[in-house]
Amino acid sequence: MFKCSACKVQACNNGLEKTPKNCASTEDMTEVMECYSSDENYNFAQVAGMIAAKSDLTRIEETMLFAEINGYRKLGIAFCISLSKEAEVIDRIFQHNGFQTVSVMCKAGGLSKELIGMKKSPKPMCNPIAQAKLFNKAGTDLNIIIGLCIGHDSLFIKYSEAPITVLAVKDRVLAHNPLGAVYLADTFYKSKLFPPKEK
C-alpha cells in the first residue's frame, strides 16, 4: 500500500536510487509512459509543466494561460449558488480577456429533491449532471468548477465531455480555503479533526 503522504525520503523527486519500502516509484511505469505519448496527453502535460514552473500567477491567471496555450476559447463555468457573486466576477474576468463563456448554476432545471429520495423542499436539488450535459451541448472547450459540493463535483466530472479544472472548492466554515483546516490542525481545531478514539 502506497503512503507517499508519509514519505520523508521523496526519492522520486530527489533522484535517489535507493527507494523506501512500498514506494510508488518502484512500480513499472511503462504503461504510464505510453499514455504520455498520445498527442493530447503530451501537450496537456507539457503546458501544465510550463505553468507549474511559474510562481507569480493566481489560479485565475493560470487557468486563462492554460486555456490560451491550449487554444480553448469557450469556457464552461460550473458554479454553486453560494458562490454566485464570485462566479459573476470570474465570468467577467474571462470575457474581458477574450474568452467566450457559458455558465450554469448548480440549481439548473429546478428539479425537486424528491427525485433523489430526499424530503420535499421549496429549494430545488443541485443538478451537476445537467450542468455537465448543458456544457456538452454548448460545446465548451474547458470546464471550470467553482465551489460545487463534494459528490456533486464528482458527478459533474463523470458527465463532462470537455477537460475540467477546479478553480475553487467550497468550504463554508473556512472561507472556501479547505487547507485552512490543515494549517489549524495543531490549534483549537485539533479536537475536531483528531477526535479522541473510544476505548
Domain around 48: 36-168
- Indicate whether 80 pLDDT > 80: yes
* Residue 199 counted as domain residue: no
* Residue 55 counted as domain residue: yes
Cα distance between residue 125 and residue 107, in whole Å: 6
* Residue 154 counted as domain residue: yes
Each residue of 53-79: pLDDT tens digit?
Answer: 988 999 999 999 999 999 999 999 999
* Residue 71 counted as domain residue: yes
- Return the pLDDT at 51: 95
* Residue 31 counted as domain residue: no
Average pLDDT over residues 92-98: 97
- Return the pLDDT at 29: 86
**φ, ψ (nearest 5 deg) of residue 113:** -65, -15
Mean pLDDT across the chain: 91
* Residue 1 counted as domain residue: no
Each residue of 133-185: pLDDT tens digit?
Answer: 999 999 999 999 999 999 999 999 999 999 999 999 999 888 888 888 888 77
Total domains in the fold of the chain = 1
- Return the pLDDT at 61: 96
* Residue 180 counted as domain residue: no
* Residue 186 counted as domain residue: no
pTM of the model: 0.89
- Return the pLDDT at 150: 95
- Return the pLDDT at 37: 93
Kindly give the residue spans of alpha helices, DSSP state H, lying in 59-166. 59-70, 84-96, 128-138, 152-159
| CATH number of domain containing 55 | 3.40.50.11840
Place of cell 500500500: 1
